[in-house]
Amino acid sequence: MGAEGTPFFGWPAADRRYLMTAGQSKQAFFRRTAWLLAVVSVGTIATPAWAAQGRLLATGGASQVEGAGGGGLVPWATLSGYGTREQEGGAVFATRVDTGDYALDVQGAAFTFGNRLELSVARQRLDLGQLRRQLSLPWQSLGQDVFGAKLRLAGDLVYTRPPQVSIGVQYKRLRDGALPLALGARDDSGVDAYVSASKLFLRGPGGYQWLLNGTVRSTRANQLGLLGFGGDHKAARSLVLEGSAAVLLAPSFAIGVEYRQKPDNLAFAREDDWRDAFVAWFPNKHVSVVAAWAELGSIASLDHQRGAYLSLQTAF
Amino acid sequence: MRPVTALLLPLAALLLSACATVPQRPLYDDLGGEAGVNALVELLLVRISDDARIAQQFATVDIVHLNDKLVEQICHVADGPCGYTGKSMAEAHAQLAISHADFNALVEDLMWAMDQRGVTRSAQNRLLARLAPMRPDIVVP
Cβ contacts of A252 within 8 Å, gap of 6 or more: A57, A58, A281, A282, A283, A284
What pLDDT score does A34 carry? 74
pLDDT of A14 strictly over 80:
no
What percent of chain A shows pLDDT beyond 70?
87
Residue (of A18, A3, A177, A163) closest to A78 by Cα position: A163
3-state SS assignment for residue A210:
strand
What pLDDT score does B5 carry? 63
Query: Is B121 close to A56, i.e. CB distance below 8 A?
Result: no
**B24 falls in which pLDDT band (50, 70, 90)?**
confident
Mean pLDDT of all residues in A90-110: 97
Mean pLDDT of all residues in A2-22: 41
What pLDDT score does A235 carry? 97
What pLDDT score does A15 carry? 43
Query: How far is B26 from B34, CA to CA, in rounded Å?
Result: 13
Alpha helices in A154-272 (DSSP H): 178-182
B3 touches chain A (CB under 8 A): yes
Query: Is B11 close to A245, i.e. CB distance below 8 A?
Result: yes
B17 touches chain A (CB under 8 A): yes
Return the sign of the alpha-carbon dihedral for residues A67, A99, A195, A189. Answer: positive
ipTM of the complex: 0.87
Selected residues 107-136 of chain B with any CB under 8 Å from a CB in chain A: 107-108, 111, 120-123, 125-126, 128-129, 132-133, 135-136
pLDDT of A253 strictly over 90:
yes
Q: Where in chain A does DSSP place strands (E)?
A: 62-63, 69-70, 88-98, 103-113, 117-127, 141-154, 164-174, 185-187, 189-201, 209-219, 229-231, 238-250, 253-260, 274-281, 287-299, 302-315
Q: What is the pLDDT of residues B81-95, one digit of tens each?
A: 999 999 999 999 998
Residue A213 near residue A243, CB atoms below 8 Å? yes
Output helix, strand, coil percentages for chain B, rounded to the nearest 5: 70, 0, 30
What pLDDT score does A17 carry? 42
Kindly report the backbone phi and psi dihedral angles of residue A158, in degrees, each rounded to the nearest multiple of 5, phi listed first. -100, -40
3-state SS assignment for residue B40:
helix
Residue (of A292, A289, A293) closest to A312 by Cα position: A289
Q: What is the pLDDT of residues A180-220, one digit of tens each?
A: 999 999 999 999 999 999 999 999 999 999 999 999 999 99
Q: pTM of the predicted model, to two decimals?
A: 0.87
Query: How far is A180 from A132, CA to CA, in rounded Å?
Result: 13
Distance from CA of A171 to the nearest CA of B (A): 30
Looking at beta carbons, which residues of chain B come within 8 Å of A85? 100
Query: How far is B77 from A33, CA to CA, in rounded Å?
Result: 51
Q: Residue A129: which region, alpha, beta or left (left: phi > 0; alpha: psi -120 to 50)?
A: left
Q: What is the pLDDT of residues A146-160, one digit of tens each?
A: 999 999 999 999 999
Residue (of B89, B114, B107, B131) closest to A55 by Cα position: B107
Mean pLDDT of all residues in B114-127: 97
A179: how many CB neighbours lie within 10 A of its CB? 22
Q: Read off the DSSP letter of residue B25.
A: P
Min mean pLDDT across A38-42, A49-53, B118-122 is at A38-42
B139 touches chain A (CB under 8 A): no
What pLDDT score does A218 carry? 98
A301: how many CB neighbours lie within 10 A of its CB? 13
Distance from CA of A57 to the nearest CA of B (A): 9
Q: What is the pLDDT of residues A293-302, one digit of tens each?
A: 999 999 999 9
